[in-house]
Structure 1
Amino acid sequence: MDAQTRLGLYRRMILIRTYEDAILREYHADKKPGFDIAKGQIPGEMHLAAGQEPVAAGVCAHLNRDDAVTATHRPHHFAIAKDVDLRKMTAEIFGRVDGLGRGRGGHMHLFDPAVHFSCSGIIAEGLPPALGMAFAFKREGKGRVAVAVTGEGAANQGAFHESLNLAALWKLPVVFVIEDNDWGISVPRSASTCVPSNATRAAAYGMPGERVEDNAVEAVHHVAGRALERARAGEGPSLVEVHTLRLYGHFEGDAQGYREDLSGVPGRDPIPTYEQLLRADGVLDDIAVQDAANTASALVEEAITFAKQSAEPDPSSALDYVFA
């Protein structure tokens, strides 16, 4: 992998982490001293993807603007990696009229047709829409692909198995990406799933399956690139599972009393690990690290300012944009 590609992956991961930490700050800013999930400028649940940056950065580096991604209820990293409009996305998270969904969807329902990105708060329900897009792409014949992202817990849902079966049957240009962060909310994978790797399930549906064990962005980039190249060539679907890391709780306010691995989590953070690797290889130095941080911070803070300056929806418009 050339130095420019590696630097691009690093900068994308920095942007994602900077964004998630800024949303973390804003989410909790007015929920003190007692945490109330319903209060504040960002009310409701908040699922952050810190620690899972390598999956989004590695996969989306291969995607074009007109390829499609359907993500999960923890969607910000894939939205950023797919180049969703950062200002409109942030305004949506804040529930403002300039948001992607005019402030009506919130952070689990981000839709940007300009870059063919969507997500869902319903477990595994992003997979069937990805098949629909892949079906259209196949008929169109222009080499476009769809990526369906889900978590390891969702791999036990009916929609997951139905989608793999139909994708293989129709030889659709879709890649299924499973983010295995070890926890389905508070349930460990070992207590919910009968196989140690969901990648082995791909064989049952006649498609290749590969697991990336170390949450390394370059490994994800390599494996995802092979799967996407296969899809573009008309060879059908593939499954890629990445053993990634959830740095924070399932949602903000989650005390994580069920996690026995918390003490070792900071040491598994993929960003400082990748930074050390790039420094050792001469790709990064102090100037490049600071530039990446400054650029990311400027973009994120500008998006947050834009969101805060956007108006809240008028209550009288509650029924607007609703199909009757």
Structure 2
Amino acid sequence: MTTDVSPTAAGLAADTRRALYQTMVLCRTYEEAILREYHADKGPGFDIGKGLVPGEMHLSAGQEPVAAGVCAHLTTDDAVTATHRPHHFAIAHGMDLDAMTAEIFGRVDGLGRGRGGHMHLFDPATHFSCSGIIAEGYPPALGAAFAFKRRGTDRIAVAVTGEGAANQGAFHESLNLAALWRLPVLFVVEDNDWAISVPRAGSTAIPSNADRAAAYGMPGERVEDNDVDAVYAAAGRAVERARSGGGPSLLEVHTVRLWGHFEGDAQGYRPELAEVPSHDPLPRYEAALREAGVLDDGVVESIKADASRRVEAAVAFATSSPEPDPATVRDHVFA
């Protein structure tokens, strides 16, 4: 059965909503810092191969409600497999900012000793991984969930992908196997309307991927309006189902990509581009919490100051970490 979840804050305690806001602020502050550092030395013009962070960069500004609402129900014993746009989920799941940032900068103190970069963040401490291959985070999540179930634990796996990836074979094969084996998995689809430059209507025959859950005998819910309170509530139901042995669920969230698919993307394919800033979930949520008496000027300033301090410390750590010695190019890789 598919459920459409309308925005609601009913039943959420003030401290829960404040914590969700805090996570969203930290994620956004981090992405703004990476945006700044990424573009700082790519001129004149834009040279994707230049600078402290060469190569592609996919930032998650606007999609913070998904990560905050889902990861609020997890512990670092649970596994999360994310996409090529992974920073918000890595942060919400508790990844160490220093090691994460050093990896993005390609430094030896990074998670993968600078070998992986921002699309390949692997962290055993938080059981987090991500991949640049579309939908390929789903099968590894099944492996983790299978192990958790065989060991008799209540740990779960969360597999995240975008709406475009819901048309990949790995998506459907994973849902089928998870349902067949009743695995403790939450499948999350971030619907930001654009699979790179292809709109949902140009790639997908149905308006909600949550409807696809019924074909595999699992619950499906779709959260509209990028509402973090609604995400938190829907994810809570799915996580409880998984932990209690009820099997997998599918959660799709209609979110928004505030920036380009990658940095340097001019986004000429987006007819609604001028309207995008008005859909920013962070100021909207802050305003709602102020109106509800959950936030005031002092709390907001404290949360933003703490996020800035943590993020700038991570950037400083990364930039002070050495670059890998070219002589070690064959180390730490499979031959």
Cα deviation for residue 34 of structure 1 reads 1.2
Structure 1 segments unaligned to the other structure (5+ residues): none
Aligned to 2:108: 97
C-alpha distance in structure 2 between counterparts of 1:76 and 1:276, whole Å:
25
Letter in 2 for 1:58: G
Aligned-residue offset at 1:139: 0.7
* Cα deviation, residue 322, structure 1: 1.6
Whichever residue aligns with residue 195 of structure 1, its letter is I
SS in 2 for 1:84: coil
1:49 to 53, 60, 75: 60
* Distance in 1 of aligned mates of 2:29 and 2:208: 31
Q: Which segments of 5 or more consecutive residues in structure 2 lack a partner in the other structure? A: 1-11
Give the secondary structure class of the aligned counterpart of 2:166.
helix
Amino acid at match of 2:153: K
Please list the CA deviations of residues 133-177 of structure 1 after superposition, one character each: whole Å capped at 9, or x if unmatched: 000001111200000000000000000000000000000000000
- In the alignment, which of 293, 296, 311 is matched to residue 285 of structure 1? 296
Say whether residues 1:254 and 2:239 are aligned partners.
Answer: no
Q: How many Å separate the matches in 1 of 2:264 and 2:165?
A: 22
2:60 and 2:28 mapped to 1: Cα distance? 8
Which residue of the partner structure matches residue 184 of structure 2? 173
Name the CA distance, whole Å, in 1 between partners of 2:152 and 2:76: 16
Offset, 1:263: 1.1
Report the secondary structure of 2:189's partner residue: strand
What secondary structure does 2:252 align onto?
strand
Q: Structure 1: which amino acid aligns with 2:238?
A: A
> What residue in structure 1 maps to residue 217 of structure 2?
206
> Are 1:266 and 2:312 matched, yes or no?
no
Q: Establish whether residue 13 from structure 1 lines up as the match of residue 24 from structure 2.
A: yes
Equivalent of 2:200 in 162, 165, 189: 189
What TM-score does the superposition give when structure 2 sets the normalisation length? 0.96
TM-score of the two chains, using structure 1 as the length reference: 1.00
Taking the aligned partners of 1:262 and 1:98, their CA distance within structure 2 comes to 38
The C-alpha deviation readout for 1:21-62, integer Å capped at 9, x for no partner, is 000000000011210001111000000000000000000000
Query: How many angstroms apart in 2 are the aligned matches of 1:176 and 1:317?
Result: 38
State how far apart, in whole Å, the 1-side matches of 2:171 and 2:64 are.
23
Do residues 147 (structure 1) and 158 (structure 2) align? yes
Corresponding position of 2:51: 40
2:64 partner amino acid: E
Distance 2:222 2:44 in 1: 43
Q: Which residue of 2 aligns with 1:75?
A: 86
Counterpart CA distance in 1 for 2:235 and 2:45 is: 43
TM-superposed deviation, 1:323: 2.3
The code of the aligned residue for 1:323 comes to F
Question: Of residues 112, 115, 128 in structure 1, which corresponds to 2:126?
Answer: 115
Q: Distance in 2 between matches of 1:323 and 1:75?
A: 24
Distance in 1 (CA, whole Å) between partners of 2:314 and 2:201 is 40
- Displacement of 1:100 in angstroms is 0.2
What is the alpha-carbon distance in structure 2 between the residues aligned to residue 164 and residue 129 of structure 1? 12
Cα distance between partner residues in 2 of 1:140 and 1:280: 46
Q: Report the Cα distance in structure 2 between the residues aligned to 1:33 and 1:40, rounded to whole angstroms.
A: 11
Q: Which runs of 4+ in 1 moved over 4 A?
A: none
Residue 236 of structure 1 corresponds to 247
Q: For residues 198-221 of structure 1, what are the alpha-carbon distances to aligned partners after superposition, in whole Å with 9 as ceiling and x for unaligned?
A: 000000000000000110111000
The match for 1:130 is: 141
| Distance in structure 2 (CA, Å) of the matches to 1:201 and 1:84 | 31
Indicate the RMSD between aligned Cα atoms, in angstroms: 0.5
